[in-house]
């Protein structure tokens, strides 16, 4: 019996066959679909819309911050804007983004399965997201919230005059969307892998989604109960978090951050998964240290649960607690460093193609590195006393979230766009957009490190005049960034009608998803593949396929 090659398991449909998009028509066939690919598209539309809403808040804030005085918005309005920017971007964009769009679309394909384990629950996840988003929109229109996305007590429970209850309820609901997605992914990865697809043959994107799903499953319920207690306190005023009645505001902070720190790993682990896929595809090599990268994802998920109080170093925790959390925070930096080094090492003696996805990922590696090392600054408690609650932290997390997660999301969209839509995007416009996003991003956020060290606190509507020059630079960068984000919106839509039709494997990459048509048929695979090859086995597979696409 000769070894099975990819040639034997081609799942390409004949020309003109129906795919998941053309399978049936009508709004209801989409709104009541159980197909993971269609649900991914539903999510794509929703989170793009919410990204634009979150971006709108950011743009207005940056315009306000051109001048030291608070002259564009009233203080209350500005406070609502930064609160809503945080809530929308974190809960309604970053946390779902890669898992709900790319994860939903690709996971069954990468596993050789026909769908996720629980398709109806998958649809429910999307509806929970939409219900929460509609609630959120209603609240924004009727006055918004001004507590900051962190909802610290007693301000949020006793002093704020805005729709705290409504927003926390919306966050509670969208949390369940996240939990159910994680649950679905975990069961699918455990129970629906194709025959022969052992754990260490899985693509690293699957490992990343697995680790993310563990965090989504276990951390989000703690946010849920914290928000329930917050809502109760807001309505009944018994003093759960109110010191005047015997409560402890630090208890809220501990419980809130117990979720919200792992939440940042929900946002970055999928991005790292995309990075592994793109680096492998555009070097045509197995990722260096595959098993280390896989284990690092699990390590980050686990260690991420142990560091929450590094958000509270000046809040009133004991000196000894601070030391412990500082130590653990340095620990969690190690697996991330491993990944960065391993991706870099993969380039050695590879065949590096600098197409748009790869450009985004190289940008991701650079910016995530900067964001990550500034985390080391914050973990040094003696230094954190000065820079916490300043723009230094704002710059740090934007480097990781935007320079990291969003760039990786863009990379993933570009990389899998041909698979999802059957069309190629225009490469040169895409490279231009990537360049604009990269440079606009750095101009926006690097000055904020300096502002933070100078002492400019965060969440400031008006600021001391000597901070103006850096703020103007930051706003200038934001306008470049906005143009950079607008371009893909335009050309992706353009490509749906005018993009070059893509074949099943335009990049010449190795992976089960590339063995299907672009776009794939509804049921993904007519016959369940039997996997006998390693992950990223480029040499064997590409020779077998006899196919070296000119890209």
Partner 1 sequence: MLSDFPLWPDQASTVAPSVDALMTFMCVVTGTVSVLIFIVIFYLAIKYRRTPENELAQDYEPPKALEAAWIIIPFLVFMFMFVWGSWLYFRIQRVPDNALDIYATGKQWMWKFQHPGGQREINTLHVPVGRPIRITMASEDVIHSLYFPAFRVKADVLPNRYKEMWFQATKTGRYHIFCAEYCGTLHSGMTGWVEVMEPTDYQKWLAGGAEGSLASQGEKLFQKYACNTCHTNDATGRGPVLLGLYGTNVMLNNDTTVVADENYIRESILNPQAKIVKGFTGIMPTFQGQVSEDDLLKLVAYVHSLGTQKTAVVPVETPSSFKTSAGSPLNPGAGSSPQTKGKKP
Partner 2 sequence: MSVVTNEHPAHHPFLQHHFEDLGQQHEASTLGMWMFLATEILFFGGVLCAYWVYRIVYPEAWSLGAEQQNKLFGGLNTIVLIISSLTMALAVRNAQLGKRKSTVAMLFATLVFGSTFLTIKSIEYWQHFHEGLFPGVNFTWNEVPALAPKVQLFMTFYWGMTGLHALHMVIGAGLLLWMMARAWRGDFGPEYYGPVEIMGLYWHFVDIVWIFLFPFLYLIPGGHHV
Dist. CA 487–CA 433, nearest whole Å: 6
Cβ contacts of 258 within 8 Å, gap of 6 or more? 219, 222, 226, 305, 308
Q: Which of the stretches 39-47, 222-230, 373-381, 485-493 binds partner 1 when contact is defined by CB under 8 A?
A: 373-381
Among 390, 515, 517, 524, binds partner 1 (CB under 8 A): 390
Question: Which of partner 1, partner 2, none sits in contact with 388, Cβ below 5 to 8 A by type?
Answer: partner 1
312 makes contact with partner 2 (CB under 8 A): no
Shorter beta-carbon distance to partner 2: residue 36 or 396: 36
How many binding residues for partner 1 (CB under 8 A)? 98
Tokens linked to 149? 């996305």
238 makes contact with partner 2 (CB under 8 A): yes
Distances (CA, A) of 13 to 20, 102, 255: 12, 22, 51
Shorter beta-carbon distance to partner 2: residue 15 or 527: 527
Task: Tell me the per-residue interface mask from 250 to 269 with partner 2, x by CB under 8 A, - otherwise.
Answer: -x---x--x-----------
Any idea what the Cα angle at residue 226 is, between residues 225 and 227, rounded to 5°? 90
Among 56, 258, 292, 429, binds partner 1 (CB under 8 A): 292
Residues 327-386 that bind partner 2 (CB under 8 A): none
Among 152, 232, 295, 377, binds partner 2 (CB under 8 A): 232
How many binding residues for partner 2 (CB under 8 A)? 51
Q: Would you list the DSSP string of 174-231?
A: HHHHHHHHHHHHHHHHHH-PPTT--GGGS-HHHHHHHHHHHHHHHHHHHHHHHHHHHH
Dist. CA 236–CA 128, nearest whole Å: 27
Q: At closest approach, how far in Å is the CB of 260 from partner 1?
A: 15
Q: At closest approach, how far in Å is the CB of 217 from partner 2?
A: 6
Residues 493-532 that bind partner 1 (CB under 8 A): none
152 makes contact with partner 1 (CB under 8 A): yes
431 makes contact with partner 1 (CB under 8 A): no
Q: At closest approach, how far in Å is the CB of 139 from partner 1?
A: 19
Question: Which of partner 1, partner 2, none sits in contact with 224, Cβ below 5 to 8 A by type?
Answer: partner 2
Dist. CA 162–CA 62, nearest whole Å: 23
Shorter beta-carbon distance to partner 2: residue 247 or 504: 247
Among 73, 224, 435, 454, binds partner 2 (CB under 8 A): 224
Among 65, 139, 202, 240, binds partner 2 (CB under 8 A): 240
What are phi and psi for residue 457, nearest 5 degrees? -75, 165
244 makes contact with partner 1 (CB under 8 A): yes
Question: Which of partner 1, partner 2, none sits in contact with 450, Cβ below 5 to 8 A by type?
Answer: partner 1
Question: Which of partner 2, partner 1, none sits in contact with 183, Cβ below 5 to 8 A by type?
Answer: partner 2
354 makes contact with partner 1 (CB under 8 A): yes
453 makes contact with partner 1 (CB under 8 A): yes
Cβ contacts of 63 within 8 Å, gap of 6 or more? 72, 475
Residues 35-94 that bind partner 1 (CB under 8 A): 70, 75-76, 79
Backbone dihedral region of 349: left (phi > 0), alpha (psi from -120 to 50 degrees) or beta? left
Question: Which of partner 2, partner 1, none sits in contact with 186, Cβ below 5 to 8 A by type?
Answer: partner 2
Dist. CA 369–CA 340, nearest whole Å: 7
What are phi and psi for residue 338, nearest 5 degrees? -55, -45
Q: Which residues pair with 11 in a beta bridge?
A: 516
Q: At closest approach, how far in Å is the CB of 395 from partner 1?
A: 13
CB-count burial class (<10 Å; 0-12, 13-18, 19+) for 455:
middle
Q: At closest approach, how far in Å is the CB of 12 from partner 2?
A: 14
CB-count burial class (<10 Å; 0-12, 13-18, 19+) for 73:
middle
Among the residues of 27-157, which ranges form H helices? 27-31, 36-64, 75-87, 104-111, 119-141
What are phi and psi for residue 501, nearest 5 degrees? -60, 135
Task: Tell me the per-residue interface mask from 174 to 213 with partner 2, x by CB under 8 A, - otherwise.
Answer: -----x---xx-xxx-xxx--x------------------
Among 454, 476, 487, 544, binds partner 1 (CB under 8 A): 454
* DSSP character at residue 68: S
Q: At closest approach, how far in Å is the CB of 162 from partner 1?
A: 10
Closest CA to 531 of 115, 99, 192: 192
**Cα diameter, the chain:** 77
Q: At closest approach, how far in Å is the CB of 323 from partner 2?
A: 21
Among 32, 142, 237, 498, binds partner 2 (CB under 8 A): 237
Question: Which of partner 1, partner 2, none sits in contact with 32, Cβ below 5 to 8 A by type?
Answer: none
266 makes contact with partner 1 (CB under 8 A): no
- The crossing angle, in degrees rounded to 10, of helices 391-398 and 356-379 is 150
Dist. CA 325–CA 401, nearest whole Å: 22
218 makes contact with partner 2 (CB under 8 A): yes
Dist. CA 207–CA 103, nearest whole Å: 11
107 makes contact with partner 2 (CB under 8 A): no
Dist. CA 512–CA 420, nearest whole Å: 14
Given the rule CB under 8 A, which residues bind partner 2? 4, 8-9, 108, 113-119, 179, 183-184, 186-188, 190-192, 195, 217-222, 224-226, 228-229, 232, 235-240, 245-248, 251, 255, 258, 523, 527-530
């Amino acid at each position: 019996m000769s070894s099975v090659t990819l040639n034997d398991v081609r799942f390409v449909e004949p020309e003109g066959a129906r795919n998941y998009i053309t399978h049936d028509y009508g709004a209801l066939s989409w709104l009541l679909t159980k197909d993971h690919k269609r649900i991914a598209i539903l999510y794509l539309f929703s989170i793009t819309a919410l990204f634009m809403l979150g971006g709108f808040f950011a743009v207005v804030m940056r315009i306000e911050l051109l001048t030291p005085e608070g002259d564009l918005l009233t203080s209350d309005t500005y406070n609502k804007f930064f609160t809503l920017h945080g809530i929308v971007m974190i809960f309604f964009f970053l946390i779902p983004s890669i898992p709900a769009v790319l994860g939903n679309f690709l996971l069954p394909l990468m596993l050789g399965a026909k769908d996720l384990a629980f398709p109806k629950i998958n649809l429910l996840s999307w509806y929970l997201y939409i219900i929460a988003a509609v609630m959120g929109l209603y609240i924004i229109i009727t006055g918004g919230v001004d507590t900051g996305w962190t909802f610290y007590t007693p301000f949020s429970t006793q002093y704020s005059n805005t729709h705290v209850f409504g927003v926390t309820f919306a966050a509670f609901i969208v949390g369940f969307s996240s939990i159910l997605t994680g649950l679905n992914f975990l069961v699918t990865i455990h129970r629906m892998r194709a025959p022969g697809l052992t754990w260490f043959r899985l693509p690293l994107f699957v490992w990343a989604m697995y680790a993310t799903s563990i965090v989504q499953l276990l951390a989000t319920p703690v946010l849920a109960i914290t928000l329930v207690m917050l809502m109760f306190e807001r309505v009944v005023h018994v003093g759960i978090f109110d010191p005047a009645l015997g409560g402890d505001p630090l208890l809220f902070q501990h419980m809130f951050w117990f979720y919200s720190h792992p939440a940042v790993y929900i946002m970055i682990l999928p991005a790292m998964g995309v990075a592994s896929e793109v680096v492998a595809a555009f070097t045509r090599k197995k990722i260096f240290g595959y098993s280390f990268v896989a284990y690092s994802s699990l390590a980050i998920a686990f260690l991420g649960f142990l560091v929450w109080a590094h958000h509270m170093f000046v809040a009133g925790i004991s000196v000894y607690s601070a030391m412990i959390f500082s130590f653990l925070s340095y620990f969690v930096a190690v697996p991330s460093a491993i990944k960065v080094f391993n991706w870099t090492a993969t380039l050695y003696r590879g065949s590096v193609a600098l197409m748009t996805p790869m450009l985004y990922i190289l940008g991701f590696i650079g910016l995530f590195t900067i964001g990550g090392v500034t985390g080391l600054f914050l973990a040094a408690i003696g230094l954190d006393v000065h820079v916490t609650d300043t723009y230094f932290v704002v710059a740090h997390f934007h480097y990781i979230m935007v320079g990291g997660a969003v760039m990786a999301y863009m990379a993933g969209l570009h990389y899998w766009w041909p698979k999802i839509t059957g069309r190629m995007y225009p490469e040169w416009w895409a490279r231009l957009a990537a360049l604009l996003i990269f440079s606009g991003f750095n101009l926006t956020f690097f000055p904020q490190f300096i502002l933070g060290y100078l002492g400019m606190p965060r969440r400031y509507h008006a600021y001391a005049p000597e901070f103006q020059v850096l703020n103007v630079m930051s706003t200038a960068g934001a306008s470049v960034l906005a143009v950079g984000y607008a371009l893909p919106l335009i050309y992706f839509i353009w490509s749906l009608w005018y993009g070059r039709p893509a074949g099943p494997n335009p990049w010449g990459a190795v992976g089960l998803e590339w063995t299907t048509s672009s776009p794939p048929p509804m049921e993904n695979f007519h016959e369940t593949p039997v996997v006998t090859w390693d992950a990223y086995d480029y040499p064997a597979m590409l020779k077998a396929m006899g196919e070296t696409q000119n890209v």
